[in-house]
Amino acid sequence: MAEGRKPASLEDLDKRLRAARSHQGGNAKGELGEGDQGSTQSGLGAALRIGVDLVAAIIVGVGIGFLLDLWLDTKPWFLILFFLLGAAAGMLNVFRVASGYGLAAGYKKPEDGAQKDGVKDKS
């Protein structure tokens, strides 16, 4: 008797679980979409994130320029050149984060972004 009833209740539980999960999944997806545009976090968090992205690229640019100068003995030309390139890369990072390519500085064109959403919906 108990053996017969148990699977039924489990099936019921499974059904309810699946319903809850699909409901939750929809919610989570919506949240993630918003997160991509950077609106779930506070303004301060977004500002810090973007600031870090900007500065990180400049650090890398200056580092490469400095090392090239040290190696080729061409002070200060590579430093200047790579500082400018680093600043440009930083702007690019900021543009990518701010224009909703996700949290990361991604490498997708807008169509690919739509494609990514497609992948998201599929899963």
Partner 1 sequence: MASPLEQFEIHPIVPLRLGEIDISFTNSSLYMVLTVVLTAGFVLLGMRQRAIVPGRFQAAVELSYEFVANLLRDTVGNEGRKYFPFVFTIFMFVLFGNLLGMTPYSFTFTSHIVVTFALALVVFIGVTILGFAKHGFHFFSFFVPPGTPLPMWPLLIPIEVISYLSRPISLSVRLFANMLAGHTLLKVIAGFIGVLGVAGVLPFAFVVVLTGLEILIAGLQAYVFTILTCLYINDALHLH
Closer of 73 and 121 to partner 1 (Cβ): 121
Q: Are 55 and 89 in contact (CB under 8 A)?
A: no
Residue 54's nearest CA partner among 30, 24, 87 is: 87
38-77 residues in contact with partner 1 (CB under 8 A) are: 41, 45, 48-49, 52-53, 55-57, 59-61, 64
Q: Which of 10, 20, 72, 80 binds partner 1 (CB under 8 A)?
A: 10
Measuring CA to CA, which residue among 121, 107, 111 is closest to residue 33? 121
Q: Which amino acid is at 72?
A: L
Instruction: Reduce the DSSP state of residue 104 to 3 states and report it.
Output: coil
Residue ranges binding partner 1 (CB under 8 A): 10, 13, 25, 28-29, 32, 35, 41, 45, 48-49, 52-53, 55-57, 59-61, 64, 82, 85-86, 88-90, 92-93, 102-109, 112, 116, 119-120, 122-123
